[in-house]
Amino acid sequence: MSKRLQFVLLISVFVVATCGLIYELVAGTLASYLLGDSVTQFSTIIGAYLFSMGIGSFLSKYFLNDLIRWFIRIEILVGLVGGFSSVILFLLFEQVSHFRIVLYLLVALTGILVGLEIPLLMRILKDRLEFSELVSKVFTFDYIGALLASVIFPLLLIPYLGIMRTSLFFGLINIAIAILVCVWLRKEINGARWLLPQAIISLVLLIAGFIFSEELLKFAEAQAYHDSVIYARSSPYQRIVVTKSGADVRLFLNGNLQFSSNDEYRYHEALVHPAMSMVKHPKRVLVMGGGDGLAVREILKYPEVETITLVDLDPAVTNLFNSNALLTDLNKNSLHSSKLTIINQDAFVWIKNHDTLYDVVIIDFPDPSNYSLGKLYTNTFYRELRHIVDPNGLAVIQSTSPYFARKSFWIIDETLRQVGFNTLPYHAYIPSFGEWGYVLASQTSQPDSLGLLPENLKYLSRSTFEQMTFFPPDMAHTESGYNSLNNQRLVQVFEQEWSNYQP
Amino acid sequence: MISRRKFLFNSLGLAGATCMGSVFTSCTPSRNVTGMLTGPNQALGHRLHQEIRNAKVEQTLHHDVVIVGGGTSGLAAARYLSKSGTDFMLIELEQRTGGNAQSGSNEVSAYPLGAHYLPLPSLNDAELLHFLEESGAITGYQNGKPVYNDYYLCFDPKERLFIHGHWQDGLVPHSGVPSADLDQLHRFQSLMHEFKQAKGADGKDAFCIPLTACSVDPAFTALDKISFSEYLQQQTFTSEYLWWYVNYCCADDYGATADQVSAWAGIHYFASRKGIAHNAESDSVLTWPEGNGWLVNKLREQVKETIVCNSLVFRIESRGNKVAVLFIDGNAGVCTEVITDQVILATPQFINHRILSASFEHPLNAASFNYAPWMVANLTLTSNLETKRGEPLSWDNVIYGSKSLGYVYANHQTLGQRQQQQVITYYAPLLGANAKDSRTFANAQTYEQWYAWVTKDLKTAHRFIEDGMERMDVWVWGHGMICPIPDFIFGKARTNASASLRDKIHFAHSDCSGISIFEEAFHRGTQAAKKVLGYES
Ligand SMILES: Cc1cc2nc3c(=O)[nH]c(=O)nc-3n(C[C@H](O)[C@H](O)[C@H](O)COP(=O)(O)OP(=O)(O)OC[C@H]3O[C@@H](n4cnc5c(N)ncnc54)[C@H](O)[C@@H]3O)c2cc1C
């Protein structure tokens, strides 16, 4: 009897140790997954977890009697809390305003429970083993468990089970141990009647979670990003997130979708080719914003282009898009083109200190969702723009959605005209964005029809463009006024218009 | 349909981060805020009290005109004189010119140490408009209206007020203000609007800038006999919101309370600004990261060869039909005398009185000239000044109920995207029953005491401001602004003290106007130069 008890309990030590480390790894991975900056996430999670285990060990002295029963109860709790931790975190990420608090509470709770386990086990075993034997055995199993966990977690669990099922799976193992102990030691524990049903109910819950994990995951991600996050980082300027599902890669800046690889060709063909084809021999091209290199990819389809200058504030974006294989596939390695010069500077500061001329200027800034960005859509900025667009050249400006933000769109058009540009507004349908708008701006003549387009465009053609310049009544021109540094009308209108479409 | 749907990720992450951040830092015992407590060159200035009067002259210079003081008024006088090719010399006590419009800078931004904005001038302030055109602040005219340089017009969002735990837009309280109070505020504003339109029997504007162009119709000048509070009481204003607002405005322009300034001066703040622009609203202002430091630097550029800094003028004497200006330089202590025909004193009257020899019989009633002390703190921060509660960080950010004037965001006029580090300039006029006691109080404060004062006040609106604070520099102006107490602007003491002496000594400092603003300093300086040139008597 005592041999068997010993064996069961030592196996428990092993399993408990493995599960404990797995939960810690799950929390760390999830935190870096969802919040970015893995070094910080991992080190703070590990610290918080170990410290909580310390608290658990400290608290263990208050458990005086019925140690085995307590051990089983705790085992069930660990299984539930640890097992469901990833589910809870995924689901709450979008909902709770203090996500980190929930995260650390969960880590602390799991840590405390796990921290209770080993001391309790040692005390259960203390009368059955020599002290030196006890310490040696318990810690050996403990550390072997840890080793096992740390090896299988990245090699087997994450690739084959995914993060959510991993935590559920180890929750199941915890409960299984609880049930095993219940059954095998039912003589040792009196009144175990209620423990077994509890354990079984928990087991059923976890199994259900495991089976429906796919659905849960989908639901959770639909709450946040639709797809799995493959890159997340906060640069000093913005938060950069890249997601992937199947073949679809998406870039989010500050939570705003910048493109989806499924239909970005529509967006970029519409952005680049009207201007590029209308200008006779575009040699010098400037791109502002657009650090993803997708506009540059389109520009490189014109062999007569000699130099491309890309001004993008954030080196984190341009570095990402010239190094990540998935993304360089997408932009055809355009950021490595020998024609290209990348300048990581603020566009306004740069343009104010520049007066060399460009044949085509492509402006792809984020939407004017705050006052800082709003400056890049003012008459003052466009006046600076006039100084660098060749008299025979063209500029094109991404101008938010004329459907969702109709007035905002026409403010941009009006602002360009106020400083003396002739404009040609047009729009394109991008499934992942909806109806999207652009404005062509010319120093001299009124731009109208397309020139010769490169071959193999997937979306833009002469006849598509004719439709694009037509604005149906629900997007048609509306009196708007112009945007200036000292009125920032656009930001206010934009915020109000988009708030009507926020979920 | 997702269409660039906004996710809350960023803000969630940040909310978590700030909350954690504060927990961590509050455990940190030592806070790494550096900074210092400074002010105008007191060491040199205090020598006026000491016996340098008998210092031995080691050098004699000759100039047609000497300007004493290189603040706005002295530089404006220099600008005007230099246009006529007059030979002159400007002597300034500090290391740099600028006076109350000086500025500082660090790796993050330039910032003001005092004056920080200029409201759009009205069309009749011709000389000021010329200067703004020379310096590129006005880029041209359209339909007779000046076109201002877009980079210098204050960007939007301009002003916000923290009231009832929330940032509202604009400084006139309205958010959560009961309707009875709003009615009073509206009534007040329409009264002020009437004053703005009003003309005296002499056909002149009742309130305008420069003051010398204002009507002297007793119907309006009588308002100079009573205090602004008396006037407001007569008009049965009782709303605490209104009183706060009015006191805020008096503090902003005069460093004083509605009890202390005359009703005429109080109304002047609201009724005198009649700027016109082709490309901005008439209530717009011009501002720069370094505040009016930009303006005085432009003035200085035109005349920099004539300027001698770090030199204290300690005596002005009559020498036959010439005048001798004696100064001592701050480094070597060499004493120089300049023999000249005429002198422009662009220094405050309390100083003038000390340096003019008795033979000039300068009639100064010192009790009438009150100067409010000010404390200005420049803070370098990474703290988040955007709160979820209301309006975003603006140029001018005021806290309702505070004794300070809140803070100005020095990086506001920078073009780039928001940087993590920012500089804000915190303004506190030291209000008290009398300026002298306030000055004694101000001079007794230590850096730590000012630090505590500033952070305590700012924490009302930004609880965690200390977490991201890197630097706080405190600057104390002992004699910051002249206070237009009742009967000062239209009274005898002011006119007597500012009348030219023997056609040789002319007064230019803004305290001769009784209102301490750039326009007046500029106007007084220009007028003094005109007197020197005999254009004006
Ligand atoms: C905190 C603060 C904020 C302000 N904000 C604004 C604002 O936003 N807008 C605005 O229009 N106005 C503002 N003002 C008012 C400002 O004072 C005026 O705009 C203007 O700068 C005053 O110029 P001034 O030439 O009359 O005087 P000062 O600036 O006082 O110039 C006098 C000069 O004389 C020098 N001096 C003194 N004694 C001697 C001596 N013995 N020998 C040689 N030189 C001497 C001084 O060093 C100084 O440079 C502010 C003032 C303060 C204190």
Return d(Cα A245, Cα A417) in angstroms, integer: 42
Determine contact, residues A9/A125, Cβ cutoff 8 Å. yes
CB A228 within 8 A of CB A245: yes
Domain match, A284 and A235 both? no
Catalytic annotation, pick one of A142, A314, A364, A413: A364
Check whether residue A41 and residue A169 sit in a common domain.
yes
Q: What is the pLDDT of residue B289?
A: 96
Q: A189 and A241: one domain?
A: no
Distance separating alpha carbons of residues A277 and A461, to the nearest angstrom: 11
The percentage of chain A sitting over the pLDDT mark of 90, rounded to a whole number, equals: 52
Indicate whether B15 pLDDT > 70. Answer: no
In single-letter form, the type of residue at position A35 comes to L
Q: Does B12 touch chain A (CB under 8 A)?
A: yes
| Same domain assignment for residues A131 and A250 | no
pLDDT digits (tens, 9 = 90+) for A212-261: 877 776 566 555 555 667 777 767 777 788 888 888 899 988 777 889 99
Assess whether A318 and A229 both reside in one domain: no
Q: What average pLDDT does this structure show over A79-85?
A: 91
Q: What is the pLDDT of residues B189-239, one digit of tens each?
A: 999 999 999 999 999 999 999 999 999 999 999 999 999 999 999 999 999
As a whole number of angstroms, the distance between CA A437 and CA A424 comes to 11
Whether B337 shows a pLDDT value over 80: the answer reads yes
B142 and chain A: CB distance < 8 Å anywhere? no
The packing angle between helices A195-211 and A213-223, to 10°, is: 70
pLDDT interval class at A93 (50, 70, 90): low
pLDDT (mean) for B279-302: 96
Cβ-based neighbours of B449, under 8 Å, separated by 6 or more? none
Segment (H or E) for A486: none
B343 three-class SS: strand
Residue type (1 letter), B287: T
Q: Looking at ligand 1, which residue's alpha carbon is closest to its atom 41?
A: B313
Both A64 and A76 in one domain: the answer is yes
pLDDT tens column, A360-405: 999 999 999 888 899 999 999 999 999 999 999 999 999 999 999 9
Going by pLDDT thresholds of 50, 70 and 90, the confidence category of residue B108 is very high
Residues of chain A with C-beta less than 8 angstroms from the C-beta of B9: 224, 239, 241, 252, 254-255
Q: Which residue has the higher pLDDT, A410 or B390?
A: A410
> Is A364 among the residues known to form the active site?
yes
Give the model's confidence band at B422: pLDDT under 50 very low, under 70 low, under 90 confident, else very high.
very high
Among the partner residues A35, A100, A237, nearest to B417 by beta-carbon distance = A237
Cα B100 to ligand 1 centre (Å) = 3
Could you tell which of B75, B100, B476 is best to mutate to test the pocket of ligand 1, judged by most ligand atoms within 8 Å of the CB?
B100
Rounded to 5 degrees, φ, ψ at A170 are -75, -25
Q: Is the dihedral of CA A190, A193, A194, A199 positive or negative?
A: positive
- Quick check: B207 and B219 in contact, CB under 8 A? no
- Residue B112 vs residue A136, higher pLDDT: B112
Question: Is the ipTM reported for this complex over the cut 0.85?
Answer: no
- B448 burial (CB, 10 Å; 0-12 / 13-18 / 19+) is exposed
> Domains plus CATH for chain B?
60-101+291-366+486-532 (3.50.50.60)
Distance CA B239, CA B245 (A): 10
pLDDT band at B121 (very low <50, low <70, confident <90, very high): very high
Owning domain of residue A434: 263-499
Rounded average pLDDT over B361-377: 93
Using the predicted structure, report yes or no on whether residue B349 has a pLDDT greater than 50: yes
Amino acid at B396: D
Q: Is A333 left (phi over 0), alpha (psi -120 to 50) or beta?
A: left
Check pLDDT > 50 for residue A75.
Answer: yes
Return the structure tokens found at B119. 């409201």
Q: What pLDDT digit, counting tens, does each position of B178-187 carry?
A: 999 999 999 9
Exposed (0-12), middle (13-18) or buried (19+): which is A304, by Cβ within 10 Å? exposed
At B75, the pLDDT band (50, 70, 90 cuts) reads: very high
Measured from the Cα of B519, ligand 1's closest atom is 11
Q: Please state the rounded mean pLDDT for residues A312-340.
A: 93
**Same domain flag for A72 and A166:** yes
Tell me which residue has tokens 């220009």: B526
Ranking A393-397, B151-155, B248-252, B463-467 by mean pLDDT, the lowest is B463-467
User: Looking at CA atoms only, how far is residue B449 from chain A in angstroms?
Assistant: 34
The residue whose CB lies within 8 Å of the most ligand 1 atoms, and thus the one to mutate among B516, B519, B524, is B516
Q: Which residue owns the Cα nearest ligand 1 atom 38?
A: B347
Cα-flanking dihedrals φ and ψ of residue B140, to 5°? Answer: 165, -170
* Per-residue confidence (pLDDT) for residue A132, from 0 to 100: 86
Contacting A residues, span 216-235, partner chain B, CB-CB under 8 Å = 224-226, 234
**Calpha distance A422→A424 (Å, rounded):** 7
Between these two residues, B166 and A244, which has the higher pLDDT value? B166
Average pLDDT of the residues in A426-433: 94
A255 and A271 housed in the same domain: no
* Domain match, A170 and A252 both: no
Q: Which atom of ligand 1 is nearest to the CA of B355?
A: 41
Task: Tell me the Cα Rg of chain A.
Answer: 30
pLDDT at A317 (0 to 100): 93
pLDDT(A199) > 80: yes
According to DSSP, the β-strands at A307-311 and A340-343 are parallel
Q: How many domains, chain A? A: 3
Q: Which chain A residues are closer than 8 Å to B5 by Cβ? A: 256-257, 502-503
Check if B378 has its Cβ closer than 6 Å to any atom of ligand 1. Answer: no
Average pLDDT over residues A347-358: 94
Q: Does residue A7 register a pLDDT over 90?
A: no
Both tokens assigned to A474: 């629900």
A250 and A343 assigned to the same domain:
no
Strand A239-245: give its sheet, edge to edge.
A228-234, A239-245, A248-253, A256-260
What local confidence, expressed as pLDDT, does residue B6 receive?
Answer: 27
> Has residue B44 got a pLDDT over 80?
no
Average pLDDT over residues B289-294: 97
Give, for B25, the enclosing helix (H) or strand (E).
helix B9-27
Q: How many CB atoms lie within 10 A of CB B12?
A: 22
Q: Three-state DSSP class for A467? A: helix
What value does the mean pLDDT take over residues B134-140?
97
Q: How far apart are CA B46 and CA A131, in angstroms?
A: 82
Q: Two tokens at B307?
A: 């300027």
Query: pTM of this prediction?
Result: 0.77
CATH number where A128 lies: 1.20.1250.20
Question: With a 6 A CB cut-off, is B377 part of the ligand 1 pocket?
Answer: no
Quick one: A285 and A411 in the same domain? yes
What is the model's pLDDT at position B63?
97
- Chain B: give the shortest CA distance to residue A122, in Å: 35
Q: How many CB atoms lie within 10 A of CB B534?
A: 9
| CATH code of the domain in which A323 resides | 3.40.50.150
Domain endpoint, select from A201, A230, A259: A259
Q: Is the pLDDT of residue A449 over 90?
A: no
CATH code for position A231? 2.30.140.10
Query: Quick one: DSSP state of residue B287?
Result: E
Which helix (H) or strand (E) is B482 found in, with range? Answer: strand B469-482
Tens of pLDDT, residues B140-163: 999 999 999 999 999 999 999 999
C-alpha–C-alpha distance, residues A123 and A119, integer Å: 6
> What is the identity of the amino acid at A176?
A
B491 lines ligand 1 (CB under 6 A): no
Examine the pLDDT at B511 and tell me if it is beyond 80: yes
**From the CA of B375, how far away is ligand 1's center (Å)?**
14
* A226, A271: one domain: no
Nearest-angstrom CA–CA distance, B348 and B74: 11
Cross-chain CB nearest to B415 (options A96, A375, A484): A375
Please write the tens of the pLDDT for every residue from A109-157: 999 998 998 888 888 888 777 888 888 888 888 888 889 988 888 888 8
Residues of chain B found within 8 Å of residue A36, distances taken between Cβ atoms: 13
